Chains A and B, each alone.
Chain A
Amino acid sequence: MKNKVQAFFLVMGGLVIAAGVVYGQLKKGYYSPAELGSLRQPAPVELLSDSSYQAAAYPVPAVDLTPGDGRQEVQIYCNTCHSPRYITMQPPLPAATWEAEVNKMNKTFGAGIPEDSTRKIILYLEAHYTVENRKQ
C-alpha cells in the first residue's frame, strides 16, 4: 500500500515536472487584457481634382495640467500662441527658468499678459513643474 502511494506521487510528480519543463521551454498563448488607447487609423480622405491642396485639421489632444491656482490663467493666456503641451513636454525646470520663460513671452513675444495673471502663471509653474514638485 505504502509503495502504491509512493508510486502514485512519483508518477504525478513526474507529470507536473514535465508540464513545467514544457511550459518553460515553449511558453505560448500568453495574452493579457489591455487598453486600446485612441490611436485609431485615420479614414481615407476624399480628394477633389481642383487646385486646392488640403490637409485635415491638426489634432489637439487634451493636456493634463496639474490642478491648482493659476491653471485657468495658463489655459487662457499661454493657449493664445501655443497649447499647454509646451509646458508638460518640458523636463522639471528650476523656478527661475520658469519665471524667465513667462517673462520672455511678455517681453520678447509680446504676449501682453496682465501683470497679476503673469504673476499667477509663474507661481503655478513654480508650484507644479520644478524638480522639487513635478508629479505628472
Chain B
Amino acid sequence: MNMTERCLSRRGLLKIVGVTSSGMAIGRWLGPHVTMAQEPAPGKGMESFTGPGANSHWNSVGPYVTEPQKVPLILLTDRPVQLETPRHYFRTAFTPNEAFYVRWHLEAIPNAVDLKTWKLQIEGNVSKALALSLPELMQKFKPVSLAAVNQCSGNSRSRLQPRVPGGQWGNGAMGNAMWTGVRLRELLDMAGVKKGSVLVQFQGLETGPGPEGLGSNLFLKSLDLGNPVLDECVVAYLMNGEPLPMLNGFPVRLVVPGYFATYWTKCLTWIRILDATDENFWMKTGYRVPDTPRGNTTPEEVKAGKVKTVPIERLPVRSFLISPDGSSKIPAGMNVTLRGIAFSGFGRVNRVEVSDDGGINWMTAKLGEDHGAYSFRTWEASWTAKSPGRYSLAVRATDEKNNTQPDEPVWNPGGYLWNRIERQEIVVGDAS
C-alpha cells in the first residue's frame, strides 16, 4: 500500500477533516506547516477562585463588571466596591481614570456630592478652623501638579503562601495619574497648626453601619506632623486633567507621593490636627506591617505573638511586564518589543532589567520618559527567541537608593508589601 492509499482509509479521512485529535499524525505526515490540532474553545470563563496555592494569573480572577464612570473592570467586591484594573491598561505611564482601580472600606460610599454645600474642613488643634469650597480651593491657591503612583497596600495579596484573608488582588490594584490640586502644607499653614500638635488626621465621606468609635463606622488615617512627606502631599481636584470619578474620590482626594494608597483619603472632607496619638482601628490595628526587613515574617512568629508592627508606609520598588502577556504565541526568530512599567516609593527608578531564562541572565531595558520620582516609568526592550519553546521572562527594577527587587517571596498576615520579581511564561512557536 502506498502513502496515498493509506490516507484513503475511512479513519484517514476523518483525521484529515480534523474530527479526531489523532489527526495530528496525518498533519505531520502532510508536512510541518499543517497542524490538525483542535481549535481553542471559545470564551471559556476563568475559575471563580484561586487557592490554596498562589494565584498564578497576573490579575485576580473575578468577573468583569461595569460600575458608574468606569469601563469594565475586575470585580473583587461589590458592596463596598473593590475593582481591579486589567493588565493591558498599564501599557502607558498614566492609567486612564475610567480604568483606575477602586478600593473602599465601608459600605456607605457617596453616590452624589453637592458642591453647594460641600466644604473641605480644616479643624482640630488649629488657630483658625477653615471651611473651603471647591472654587476657593481652585482659586485661592496656586495649583500644583504631580505624577504619582497610587498602589493598594494589598496589591498582589493573592501571591502569598500560605494565603491570607483580605482582598485577593492580582497585580492590578495600582495606577498612576497626574494629580493637580493644592499643597496640603498651604492649607495647614493657613489654618495655623498649634504648638503641641502631633498628628494630622484625614477623613473622607465614606461611613459604615458599625457602632461609633469602631473601624466599621469611620475610616480614618493619620500622618505625623513631623513627617517630611507632608510637604509633598497634594489635595487633588484633578486626576489626569479631569475631575476624579466618584469611585476614586470626587471632589478631592489626598495624594501622598511614594506612600501606599491607604493614606490617600478619597472624598477628603475633614483634615484634623490632633494633639494626641491616633487610637482608631485603621492606624492602631489595620494597615500595619512587621517591623522587619521587607515586612517579612512567618505564621509561626505571628502565632507566638513575637511580631512588632508599624504602620505601612512607602512603596517598595516593583516592575511589571505588560506586553506580551502570554496570551498568544510568538513565532521563533521574530524580534518583538517587551513593554512594561516600574516604580518605587523610595526614589526614581533608574534601572530595569529583563531576563528570558527566568532570572539567570539579565539585560538592561530602555527607560521611557521620566515623569518624576513617584510616577510609573515605562520601559521597553527588544527580544528575539531564536528557537521554539517555553520562556520564562522576568523583570526587575532598581531605584536611585539602590533598592532592587528581590526574588524571595514576602509573607505577613495582612498580605502587604509584595514586590518579588515577576515572571511571565511566553510560548515561542516554530516559524517554519
Measured CB to CB, the residues of A under 8 A from B are 9-10, 12-14, 16-17, 19-21, 23-25, 27, 30-32, 34-35, 39-42, 45, 51-61, 80-83, 85-86, 88-93, 97, 101, 108-112, 131, 134, 136
Contacts and interface: CB of A to CB of B under 8 A. Distances in A.
Contact of A51 (B51, B106, B115): B115
Contacts of A25: 33-34
B211 interface: yes
**How big is chain B's contact interface, by range?**
35 or more
Interface of A is mostly: loop
20 contacts: A13-B8, A21-B30, A21-B34, A39-B64, A55-B246, A57-B68, A58-B68, A81-B209, A82-B79, A83-B78, A83-B79, A85-B76, A85-B79, A89-B62, A89-B76, A89-B168, A92-B49, A97-B165, A108-B215, A108-B281
B251 to A, nearest CB: 7
Interface of B is mostly: loop
Given A53-B113, A111-B216, 20 more contacts: A9-B5, A9-B8, A13-B5, A16-B16, A17-B4, A20-B26, A20-B36, A21-B30, A21-B31, A23-B18, A24-B33, A52-B112, A52-B115, A52-B116, A54-B112, A56-B68, A60-B78, A82-B79, A91-B51, A136-B49
Contacts of B16: 16-17, 19-20
Nearest to B81: A58
B113 A108 contact: no
A111 to B, nearest CB: 7
Closest A-B pairs by Cβ, 5 of them: A91-B51, A24-B34, A55-B246, A109-B216, A55-B68
Nearest to A10: B4
A82 B80 contact: yes
Contacts of B210: 81, 109-111
Contacts of A82: 77, 79-80, 107
A23 B158 CA distance: 42
Given A56-B68, A81-B216, A97-B165, A91 B49 contact: yes
Contacts of A51: 114-116
Contacts of B13: 16
Given A24-B27, A39-B72, A92 B80 contact: no
A108 B67 contact: no
Contacts of B48: 88, 136
A134 B69 contact: no
Contacts of A16: 7-8, 13, 16
